[in-house]
Structure 1
Amino acid sequence: MARDFVSCERGQVMLMPPSLLEWLPEDHLVWTVLGAVDQMDLDRFREGYRLGAAGRAPYDPAMLVALLLYAYARGNRSSRRIERACLEDVAYKVITSMRVPDHSTIAEFRRRHESEIAELFDQVLGLCKEAGLVSLGVIMVDGTKIKANASMDQNRSYSGVVREILREAEETDRREDELYGDARGDELPEQLRTPERRRQTLADAKRRIEERKGRAVRPQEPEQDVEVDPDLVLGQGGKRGGRREWPRVARRELESRRERQAEPILRDREDRLFQALGRLEENHRVDVAANEAYERWRSSSRDTLGRVMKGYSKPFVPPEAPDGAINLSDPDSRVMRSKGLPHRQAYNVQTAVTEQQIILAAEISLTAADFGQLEPILDRALAHLSRHGITEPPEAVVGDAGYWHTRQIQAIADRGIEVLIPPDGAAREGTRPGWENGLYDRMREKLTTERGRTLYALRKTTIEPVFGQIKYNRRVDQFMRRGRAAVHSELRLVAATHNLLKLHNHWIANTA
């Protein structure tokens, strides 16, 4: 028996071309993204464009911002995949009005507007607040490791970086035994065992590399003097921690400065070698300066009775060369380990989340532990909220045992914010010796109350699902970009699109 089928005439010409507005249903995410972008202030994106200049006109930044927001919301972070989607996917075609930006254009826009893209997070948070999605009750904080765009095989010690530079300068394929003779191969060459000879040898190597590439030889930047403020160190526990604490505090200050003045990761491998070398040498200078500052303080310190402090301080002998290691692909990344996973190059992502799973702050940390991150991430969340008129303190802040930091917990409590953080890990039976009184006991008692158990249990239904949605549903289990500033921008864009998805679901639920 014959049947009639609905015809499928792909060559049929349409008399009246359909409008782009008819291509997608009204509840599609694209309309939420475009509506959000229409309400954003994008003036900073438009700065720097010379309108009316000769040559091809640039794409409207509003279109590229919407394209990135939608792509990241769908878990698509590759500029090449975004370009292909603009060619094949109807939703992307609606955003770009049928245009297909080249992947290099998308990547350059993302790189050029790194800081502006990071600030989109704050604007999306403002839209969430206007929609009534941001309420200050309980704030949950937690951290998760996200793999860096770098391999652990690219970690090098100072001597390893030097050897690669010298090999590049020599342009040979000689075997290591020919390079080092009977030596082990991991020690510094003779001409690099003093700072002066190191600088001269490496400057010569850099000159030869630049000349081979046909580039102008750039003058070597002079080493900056490093000063360590004793008052700063003593204020952060340097007196109690002794000599070891002084370099630690000095290194933390160095990392804070690097965060404020984050430099991009260079594309050329040989340039990255010298960039890595410079960082290791700067670390070395800070360590030396901190130890020398400690010895000066120790020699002039007096006890409460005004007497010179007794005790023997072993003289500091600077190491022959900088110690530690650095990754050549992403020098800002660190070797970290997540529970149940092997060591890997990663960043520690710190977040603060509301009970409605709205991200209030998203930052990166270069230390694997969450210790010391409680107050910084809370302050960042409150700063974002204050920009949108929310200035009252939250009811409570909740975190896991990794955030236990006595000074920070007390400082937050003094601001009228309740803190719920267990002083012991879940696997510990009993308490640690000497922890029976004071803040530890009060916190343990608070967590055993019905209110304490209820608030602490919120972590499992708020912040942990946020990580699941980001890392597994949207496949953000590795950063695409490299360097502290670029990774921070990428993280903030991921967090912005997470909030945008929450806003979309809210709008759909209220218009259904």
Structure 2
Amino acid sequence: MGRRQPNFKPYHQQQLMLLPPSLDELVPKGHVVRVVDDVINKINLESLNAAYYLTGPASYHPQMLLKVLVFGYMSNIYSSRKLEAACKESIYFMYLSSMSFPDHNTINRFRGVRLKDTFRTIFEQVVSLLAQEGYLSIEEVFTDGTKIEANANKYTFVWKKAIASNKEKMKKQLAEIWAYAQSVAATEDNMPEPPDLTTINKEKVQDTVDTLNQVLGKKENIDKKMKTKLGYVTKHYPANIARYEQQEAILGRRNSYSKTDPDATFMKLKEDHMRNGQLKPAYNVQISTSNQFIVNYSIHPNTTDTNTLSSHLEQHEKSFGAAPKSLTADAGYGSEENYTLLEEKKVTAFVKYNLFDKRQNRAFNRKHPFATDKLYYNPGQDYYICPMGQKMAYIGDRTRKTTTGFGQTVRLYKARNCQNCPLNGACHKSQGDRVIQINVNLERQKQQADQLLTSEEGIQKRKKRCYDVEPVFGNIKNNHGFRRFMLRGKQKVEIEWGLIALAQNLRKRAA
């Protein structure tokens, strides 16, 4: 009796099908790729179509390329070469591309060039569509930021402090050579007046170098060291100062940039694998969310979140015609400038200031009983009462401007007889009488913030912020592995992050 054979299903690899299945049949009905197809089909792509030439060879359809890009970012495929391979290997990409096989150059050119002026409009249309479907609110948003590493060499840096230090060395060297030239030509009447080297530029440096060569070039017995210094200055200083001025123009208000991506600023990132606090070229990404959908995004060179809110809100207004009705954010945004901005735009600001959480802590209040906010103020006669019951009289105002040019005014109040006070040393640490600075406008804004944040609505907003905007960054970085941009330059980085934001929204829509 023979051995029984296992029962297998038919397997005939070379057999032809009479009616081969369609791509639509091969894609499950509830698959996320169908959401991408459906949403992109609903939006207007006329502005994207207009980015193509009317003449020349036929191009791949931009609607198809957009679907492939968006689904690629949803699937953690960010490389144009890997997207090219996916269009030939994955049934889902074949479904979107309708069996078209664009190469990586076409995909990369579409992402970096064709989408340059049109992607923001595409993103806004999708957000508006999701708002109409009830998935998100454009009027009530939660704002936060994160730093993402740029595609730049972390060792090709330019620092503002280094430029300033080198310019000081140049001024000192020029002044030293000029002093020597004056001593050598002391008996001559044609020695020009010494230049003003308080500030230097390429014209002033060039004129100074030319004059020094003219004066010392005629002399025979010149000190060898000075001759060597003059030769070095003549050869290098005019070119160096011209380079420094170009670098300062690129820097603007920043303290650093990378030579391989001049739009990227060196920042301290949370992803510090070497654990040495090394600064890396990066971008500060700001987003506003609603129900974990990204409503608005913006890219900044700032190392902190404080000075990003103005342009971020400006983008929201540009996208949707008006500022949001309410905005919730953490203490990184709680500055006088931001509170004033939100007041002017009539945005209800559920925004903490830097000591809000600590002031809610009784232990902190007990530890700092002599803090300025604990002192009694008499508004009628405009004076404060120090912890010993003495009047602190108003002594004047002090004005200052922030790095963004925002003007601040503080009122100064001074105590008296602090040296003989038994609380001296505990009340304050200064040598003389205690002087407090009161920013009246900021204190008013903080009181208003306290009322909003401690209200029932404010407590709900604060709780929701922790699971609305923050998990979005965590999902993108940890679950989808996007920790470093692939493109260079702010304009292309904005497109890349926009694709990430659109992918996040469509993933959330399909969930």
- TM tier, smaller: 0.5 to 0.7
Structure 1 partner of 2:129 = 127
Question: CA, structure 1 residues 189+146, in 2 after alignment: closer, same or farther (shift >3 Å)?
Answer: farther
* 1:37-65 Cα shifts (integer Å, max 9, x gaps): 22222222223544564x5x211111111
Alpha-carbon contact 2:111-2:495 (below 8 Å) kept: no
Q: Does 1:351 align with 2:287?
A: yes
Given residue 233 of structure 2, which amino acid in structure 1 is its aligned partner?
E
Alpha-carbon contact 2:485-2:496 (below 8 Å) kept: yes
1:381-420 matches, cutoff 5 A: 381-386=316-321, 393-394=324-325, 396-420=326-350
CA deviation after TM superposition for structure 1 residue 9, in Å = 2.2
Q: Does 1:484 align with 2:490?
A: yes
Question: CA, structure 1 residues 137+282, in 2 after alignment: closer, same or farther (shift >3 Å)?
Answer: closer
1:504 and 1:278 mapped to 2: Cα distance?
51
* 1:303-345 Cα shifts (integer Å, max 9, x gaps): xxxxxxxxxxxxxxxxxxxx96531211110111134733221
Q: Please point out which of 22, 25, 48 is paired with 1:22.
A: 25
Structure 1 partner of 2:471 = 465
1:18 and 1:368 mapped to 2: Cα distance?
54
Given residue 439 of structure 1, which amino acid in structure 2 is its aligned partner?
Q
Alpha-carbon contact 2:262-2:489 (below 8 Å) kept: yes
Given residue 282 of structure 1, which amino acid in structure 2 is its aligned partner?
A
Structure 2 partner of 1:91 = 92
Structure 1 partner of 2:69 = 68
Q: Please point out which of 403, 422, 438 is paired with 2:444.
A: 438
Given residue 369 of structure 1, which amino acid in structure 2 is its aligned partner?
T
Q: Please point out which of 227, 233, 248 is paired with 1:190.
A: 233
User: Secondary structure of the equivalent of 1:361?
Assistant: strand
How many residues align? The count is 360
CA deviation after TM superposition for structure 1 residue 134, in Å = 2.7
1:99 and 1:58 mapped to 2: Cα distance?
11
Give 5+ residue unaligned stretches, structure 1: 161-181, 183-187, 203-276, 288-322, 506-512
* 1:91-150 Cα shifts (integer Å, max 9, x gaps): 011111222211111111112212223432112112212312233563111000111111
1:27-176 matches, cutoff 5 A: 27-47=30-50, 49-50=52-53, 53=56, 55=57, 57-113=58-114, 114-136=116-138, 138-156=140-158
**RMSD between aligned residues:** 3.2
Between structures 1 and 2, the one with greater strand share: 2
1:498 and 1:470 mapped to 2: Cα distance?
8
1:138 and 1:126 mapped to 2: Cα distance?
14
Give 5+ residue unaligned stretches, structure 2: 164-224, 226-230, 375-442
1:454 and 1:48 mapped to 2: Cα distance?
45
1:459 and 1:415 mapped to 2: Cα distance?
21
* 1:425-471 Cα shifts (integer Å, max 9, x gaps): 55784589545653324423543344322211111110011111212
Question: CA, structure 1 residues 82+372, in 2 after alignment: closer, same or farther (shift >3 Å)?
Answer: same
Question: CA, structure 1 residues 283+191, in 2 after alignment: closer, same or farther (shift >3 Å)?
Answer: farther
CA deviation after TM superposition for structure 1 residue 33, in Å = 1.4
1:329 and 1:385 mapped to 2: Cα distance?
35
Between structures 1 and 2, the one with greater helix share: 1
* 1:167-210 Cα shifts (integer Å, max 9, x gaps): xxxxxxxxxxxxxxx9xxxxx952465547865xx8xxxxxxxx
Alpha-carbon contact 2:74-2:504 (below 8 Å) kept: yes
2:50 and 2:452 mapped to 1: Cα distance?
52
Given residue 152 of structure 1, which amino acid in structure 2 is its aligned partner?
K
CA deviation after TM superposition for structure 1 residue 484, in Å = 0.9
TM-score (norm 2): 0.63
Q: Does 1:5 align with 2:5?
A: no
2:35 and 2:240 mapped to 1: Cα distance?
61
Alpha-carbon contact 2:284-2:302 (below 8 Å) kept: yes
User: Secondary structure of the equivalent of 1:438?
Assistant: helix
1:489 and 1:15 mapped to 2: Cα distance?
45
Alpha-carbon contact 1:140-1:352 (below 8 Å) kept: yes
1:378 and 1:348 mapped to 2: Cα distance?
15
Alpha-carbon contact 1:422-1:443 (below 8 Å) kept: yes
Structure 1 partner of 2:265 = 334
Structure 2 partner of 1:421 = 351
Q: Does 1:368 align with 2:303?
A: yes
Structure exhibiting the larger radius of gyration computed from Cα positions? 2
